């Protein structure tokens, strides 16, 4: 009985150390560099991520911003909440929470992003749209996206 307790204590310490190492190991990379390790371009997240957590064993991640971020890309508006969550694996983001796209008058939640060669497919569940990876090589800014030449970047985040 005592040996079984010792084994359970050792196992729980080992699990804790593995998860802790997996989370702290990420602090050496920016969230944008971490995205690239999973074959995603840096521009699928806006500028201004303050921190992130990533469990490399499960792929579960959380990205933090100072506030809500809204900007346009082509004919779409994107909204990133102050906390983005989901699961990441090579070329695939799933179970996303905190990212929406405005289609016509409706805000639809983006639930999945997958990479197929040089294309990214964004899914809102009932529909999806595909864009070239080349559209996301730069990191967009809140308010102006990729077209920020004449935009003041003083008030990038809002507290929506």
* pLDDT at residue 159, as a whole number: 41
151 domain-assigned:
no
Residue 141 domain-assigned? no
Q: What confidence score (pLDDT) does residue 137 get?
A: 92
Q: What is the pLDDT of residue 48?
A: 92
Position 104 scores a pLDDT of: 87
Coil, strand or helix at 55: coil
Q: pLDDT at position 152, please?
A: 47
With CA atoms as reference, report the closest residue to 131 among 140, 119, 139.
119
Confidence at residue 4, expressed as pLDDT on a 0 to 100 scale: 42
> If you ran DSSP here, which 8-state letter would residue 5 be given?
H
Count of domains for the chain: 1
The domain spanning residue 73 has which CATH number?
2.30.240
On whether residue 124 sits in a domain, the answer given is yes
User: What is the per-residue pLDDT for 19?
Assistant: 43
Task: Pull the structure tokens for residue 55.
Answer: 């469990």
Q: Is residue 160 domain-resident? A: no
In whole angstroms, what is the distance from residue 77 CA to residue 126 CA? 18
120-149: b or e for each residue (b if 16 or more CB lie within 10 Å)? Answer: bebbbeeeeeeeebebbeebbbbbbbbebe
Residues of the chain with pLDDT under 70: 1-27, 150-160
For residue 147, tell me if it sits in a domain: no
- Expressed as residue numbers, the domain containing 70 is 2-136
């Amino acid at each position: 009985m005592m040996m079984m307790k010792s084994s359970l204590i050792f196992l729980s310490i080992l699990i804790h150390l593995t998860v802790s190492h997996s989370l702290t190991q990420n602090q050496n990379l920016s969230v944008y560099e971490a995205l690239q390790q999973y074959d995603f371009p840096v521009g699928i997240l806006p500028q201004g991520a303050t921190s992130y957590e990533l469990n490399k064993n499960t792929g579960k991640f959380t990205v933090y911003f100072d506030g809500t971020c809204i900007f346009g890309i082509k004919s779409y508006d994107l909204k990133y909440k102050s906390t983005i969550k989901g699961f990441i694996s090579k070329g695939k983001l799933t179970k996303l929470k905190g990212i929406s796209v405005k289609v016509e008058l409706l805000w639809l939640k983006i639930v999945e992003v997958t990479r197929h060669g040089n294309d990214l497919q964004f899914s809102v569940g009932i529909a999806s749209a595909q864009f070239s990876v080349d559209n996301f090589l730069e990191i967009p800014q809140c308010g102006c996206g990729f077209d920020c030449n004449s935009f003041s970047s003083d008030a990038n985040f809002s507290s929506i």
